[in-house]
Amino acid sequence: MPGRTLCLGEALIDAVMRPGRPVEEHVGGSLFNVACGLAALGDPASILSWWGRDQRGARIAASAERAGLEVVPGTDGAPRTPLARAHVDEEGRAVYDFDLTWEVPPAGGLERYNHLHTGSFAATLAPGADGVLDIVQRIRDHATVSYDPNIRPALMGTPETVRSRIEQIVGLADLVKASDEDLTWLYPDEPVENVMRRWLASGPAMVVVTRGPWGAYALLSGNRDMLHVDQLTVEVGDTVGAGDSFMAGLVSGLLDTGYLGSRHAGRRLSATTWTDVQPALHRAVITSALTVSRDGAYAPTMAEVRDVRAKDPTFR
């Protein structure tokens, strides 16, 4: 069985705004969504974040408890709970603006965790960004690391401001997942495939880029060929949390097959083949599709994943 994953980064309240509909507030945040996704899939997860002891913070804490997450002490030390306003258009696409601060509470006992997932603005927004980098550097002596830049221009400023820190953490990670929109923002004049290969050469064992309805591209450090993974066709509720759900499914699949979860597992991932990791990629595709078929950042269960697999023999 896999050990415990530490998800380091934001948990917040999403205020979802759709044309002609009342504003709805939901618990969200990229790292919180991934943590909930892992827990729903049966992988123990903890959240180290930064929210307040106010009404919205109480909602996050209650949601974490329902999801079966462990909340790391100090997480509720923020002066106020972060708020993200998600402006969802008629096609279900979300654009965000934010009202928040970000710090990393003191984090001891890292030996308890065999995998760390981090990303989004937590890795680039001061003053907490330096704390994220410190934990990544400390934990990778014994654990694996996954990273999703999850670009938020409203918080990150310009590509030039954050590019070097993003590339630094990419080089420290075993698994990196980004969207094609992330890479286009970071490197507007460079093909996605070129960025993927350069990132892979800097250190990760696996780099995956999601491309919305066109599926995902994946590279392995031990294989010269790029794999294209088709997305499932579903009726879209909205895309809130879709990338986080993909990330949770991918990390869960790799943990369950022993390609994440220790330095030995990280070395196995560096030497593996597409046949070995394809089930994890398929899990990611399924969890993402199940999420976009609902409104909000829905976290699918393993029972739902198995049901999709049973109905589609092309999944292995």
Give the pLDDT of residue 296. Answer: 60
Give the pLDDT of residue 240. Answer: 60
Instruction: Write the burial class of residue 275 (CB in 10 Å: 0-12 exposed, 13-18 middle, 19+ buried).
Output: exposed
Question: Which of 71-80, 89-98, 212-221, 306-315 reaches the highest mean pLDDT?
Answer: 71-80
Residues 6 or more apart whose Cβ sits within 8 Å of residue 140:
116, 172, 263
Question: Mean pLDDT score of the chain, rounded to an integer?
Answer: 91
Residue 12 lies in a domain: yes
Residue 176 lies in a domain: yes
Residue 316 lies in a domain: no
Kind and range of the H or E element at 227? strand 223-229
The number of folded domains in the chain is 1
Q: Which residue has the tokens 């943590």?
A: 35
Task: Measure the CA–CA gap between 223 and 273, rounded to whole angstroms.
Answer: 7
The model's pTM: 0.92
Residue 288 lies in a domain: yes
Q: How confident is the model over 254-280, as pLDDT tens digits? A: 999 999 999 999 999 999 999 999 999
String of DSSP letters for 112-158: GEEEEEEEGGGGTSTTHHHHHHHHHHHHTTTSEEEEE----HHHH--
Give the pLDDT of residue 45. Answer: 97
Residue 78 lies in a domain: yes
**Which of 202-221 are b and which e, b meaning 16 or more Cβ less than 10 Å from the residue's Cβ?**
ebbbbbbbbebeebbbbbbb
Residues 6 or more apart whose Cβ sits within 8 Å of residue 20:
none
Kind and range of the H or E element at 189? none
Instruction: Write the burial class of residue 194 (CB in 10 Å: 0-12 exposed, 13-18 middle, 19+ buried).
Output: exposed
pLDDT tier, 232 (very low <50, low <70, confident <90, very high otherwise): low
Residue 157 lies in a domain: yes
Q: Quick one: tokens of 89?
A: 């258009």
Residue 225 lies in a domain: yes
Question: What is the percent of the chain where pLDDT is above 70?
Answer: 94
Q: How confident is the model over 147-159, as pLDDT tens digits? A: 999 999 989 999 9
Give the pLDDT of residue 52. Answer: 97
Q: Which residue has the tokens 């009404």?
A: 55
Which CATH number is 49's domain given?
A: 3.40.1190.20
Residue 244 lies in a domain: yes
- Which domain does 302 fall in, by range? 4-311
Q: Is the dihedral of CA 94, 95, 100, 106 positive or negative?
A: positive
Q: Quick one: tokens of 59?
A: 């909602």
